[in-house]
Amino acid sequence: MAQNPQGDPAHLAARTGGDFDQLPYPSMPFAYTQPAQLAALATLYGLQPPQADSARVLELGCASGGNIIPLAARFPKAHFVGLDLSAQHIRDGSRRIGSLGLKNIDLRQADLAETQVAPDSFDYVICHGVFSWVGEAVQESILAICRTALTNDGLAVISYNVLPGWHLRSSVRQICLYHVDPHAPARERVAQARRVLEKLAELTSETTPYGVFLRTEVKRLKQLPAAYILGEFLSHDNIPMPFHAFVARARGHQLSFLCEADLGSSVGELLYPAAAERLRAEAGADRLAEEQYKDFVSGRPFRRSVLTKRSDGVDLLPDPNRLSALYVSSRLTQDPSTPERVRFRDGEGRTVTTEDGAVHQALAKLAAAYPSHVRVEELFSPDPPQAALPQGVVRERVCRALFALVMAQQATLATVATPTGRAQDRHPKVWPLARLEASSRQPWLTSLNHAPIPASTVDADLVVRLDGSLDRPALQALLVQWLRQGKLEPSPDTSTDTDGIEKAAHRYLARALEQLAQNALLEP
């Protein structure tokens, strides 16, 4: 339900039972909840987290399983349990599990306020979009479940709305609660909320801070599903809290704050280095106080905090040298326009520059491997070997560069590799979950890297047919047939003769396979 710091919609797991039976939420994957990613963070802090590919994973407020089912499909040796109050969500998710033939996952209807779990029964607990949207008694139950269920080295990740940043959005909630008929059906309440917000935004001044905020918020909400508005602004509970209050609540259940799931927001330089130094001076040696001051400065409305039962053996800061045991992935492309220094661009067009030969070669290997992960150890050996550089120096420089990418959210870490297919494979194959999503005309496809990819980028019928049974010539012939039948829309300049149709099919297939490969939708 909640909103991540960049403003992307996240899924709703706050449960009021009947409302979400009437208006089920489009349940989506969230990359940061992957056990392999959480385990990588814990490794940097000196912990020895459970093996992600054979872990026991519990999701509290799983909706219809859009986050947990893809994990079960990817890791058949792990075991997954999802709990949700909405019977409709559980029915929808159970049907999908049956269609995929998964035997390592179980979705159950349950009230978190009454849920009992066996001690030390799970290695990872995920709680996305729930904590702020339930009452304090259920919040206490969530923390108690985490404390009881987690193994000694296990990890929990909980998302929640944060003060003071969420204060601005609380004004939107107050408008909705004042105006909307609480007895109307769920869809009508959302429609009422949208109408009043649009009208009020038009009446605000474009030159005042409040007017700018309300107009921007209304534009943002137009892009989000109805169930998001229902849970964020119309639910009975929405309890944002300061970071220090959340940490204190967690401590009451013998749970310690480890870091944020987006590690850069915990450790990276906030705004710019001078600001970070001033924050540290204000906080003194208190790391948790520094985290709180970051919220005061950034105004972020949302956190994804990783908790652990361990109170000993945890480093205060992550150690870049521990990257050696991990896998890394980064969407980089080399920019040849600056010969005096090596420059790459990430998936958002941001630049990464280096004048270090060893770092250049490491980044080039990452770029060539994307979207697959590369074991960091493999990036320490320059090719050809640079005899002038001792191995320890290369290791330090590369680790430092990779750590900077992670802090800037330009690279992701994991304890388990994610093998992916290539556009050039003779029998290209989209992984089964994404094919099922395409066949149901779901608006997004879940990648092997656990991210939602817009389904509109490639024809859904083609995705369904990419089960590995057809080689490239057969796929080319299929697309020629579809173009002739009008099932695919050719580009305006496509010739309708045989040669023109063949060339159009070839171009479409090459482009589609490249998009699927780059978005980690193809299996090896």
Give the 3-state secondary structure of 107-131. EEECCCCCCCCCCCCEEEEEECCCH
Q: Say whether both 35 and 128 belong to one domain.
A: yes
Q: Which of 274, 308, 342 is the last residue of a domain?
A: 308
Predicted confidence (pLDDT) per residue in 51-82, tens digit: 999 999 999 999 999 999 999 999 999 999 99
Tell me the Cα Rg of the chain.
Answer: 24
Q: Give backbone dihedrals phi and psi of 98, rounded to 5 degrees, phi first.
A: -65, -40
User: Average pLDDT of 231-251?
Assistant: 93
Answer yes or no: is 384 within a domain.
yes
What is the structure's pLDDT at 384?
59
Q: Is residue 7 part of a domain?
A: no
Q: Please check whether residues 248 and 261 belong to one and the same domain.
A: yes
- Based on the fold, state whether residues 50 and 116 are members of the same structural domain: yes
Q: Are 66 and 25 in contact (CB under 8 A)?
A: no
> Does 120 share its domain with 261?
yes
Quick one: 299 exposed, middle or buried, by C-beta within 10 A (0-12, 13-18, 19+)?
middle
How far apart, in whole angstroms, are the C-alpha atoms of residue 340 and residue 338? 6
Same domain? 34 vs 107? yes
* Three-class secondary structure of residue 156 per DSSP: strand
CATH label of the domain that carries residue 361: 3.90.930
Query: Residue 161 corresponds to which tokens in the numbers above?
Result: 């709305």
| Residue of higher predicted confidence among 269 and 339 | 339
Domain end among 308, 338, 355: 308
CATH of the domain at 123: 3.40.50.150
Q: pLDDT at position 274, please?
A: 60
In the prediction, which pLDDT does 450 show?
A: 97
**pLDDT tens across 158-209, in order?**
999 999 999 989 999 999 999 999 999 989 999 999 999 999 999 999 999 9
The reply to whether 473 and 326 lie within a common domain is no
Residue length of the chain: 524
**Whether residues 325 and 388 fall in one domain:** yes
Q: Is the CB of residue 126 less than 8 Å from the CB of residue 157?
A: yes
Judge whether 371 lies within some domain.
yes
Question: Does 146 lie in the same domain as 38?
Answer: yes
Helical spans, DSSP H, in 184-239:
186-203, 209-222, 226-233
Q: What pLDDT digit, counting tens, does each position of 143-155 carry?
A: 999 999 999 999 9
Q: Is residue 233 assigned to a domain?
A: no
Six-digit token pair at 63?
A: 């909706």
DSSP character string of 462-508: HHHH-BSSS-HHHHHHHHHHHHHHTSS---TT---SHHHHHHHHHHH
- Kindly report the number of other CB atoms within 10 A of residue 103's CB atom: 10
CA atoms within a 13 Å half-sphere pointing along the CA-CB vector of 254:
11
Residue 196 sits in the same domain as residue 108: no
Residue 285 scores a pLDDT above 70: no
pLDDT at residue 387 in the model: 56
Task: Show the domain range for 335.
Answer: 320-414
Question: Last residue of a domain, which of 254, 284, 308?
Answer: 308
The position carrying tokens 């985290």 is: 291
Q: Which of 446, 6, 8, 450 has its CA nearest to residue 225?
A: 8
Same domain, 284 and 347: no
Nearest to 240 by CA among 145, 115, 139, 147: 139
Mean pLDDT of 428-442: 96
Q: How many domains are contained in the chain?
A: 4
One domain, residues 150 and 211: no
CB 119 within 8 A of CB 33: no
143-146-148-154 Cα dihedral, nearest 10 degrees: -150
Whether residue 5 has pLDDT greater than 50 = no
pLDDT value, residue 9: 35
Q: How confident is the model at residue 347 (pLDDT cuts 50, 70, 90)?
A: confident
Residue 114, in any domain of the structure: yes
Beta strands 122-127 and 150-163: pairing type?
parallel
The answer to the question of residue 356 being in a domain is yes
Q: How confident is the model at residue 24 (pLDDT cuts 50, 70, 90)?
A: low
Phi and psi torsions of 108, nearest 5° = -130, 140
User: Do residues 391 and 482 share a domain?
Assistant: no
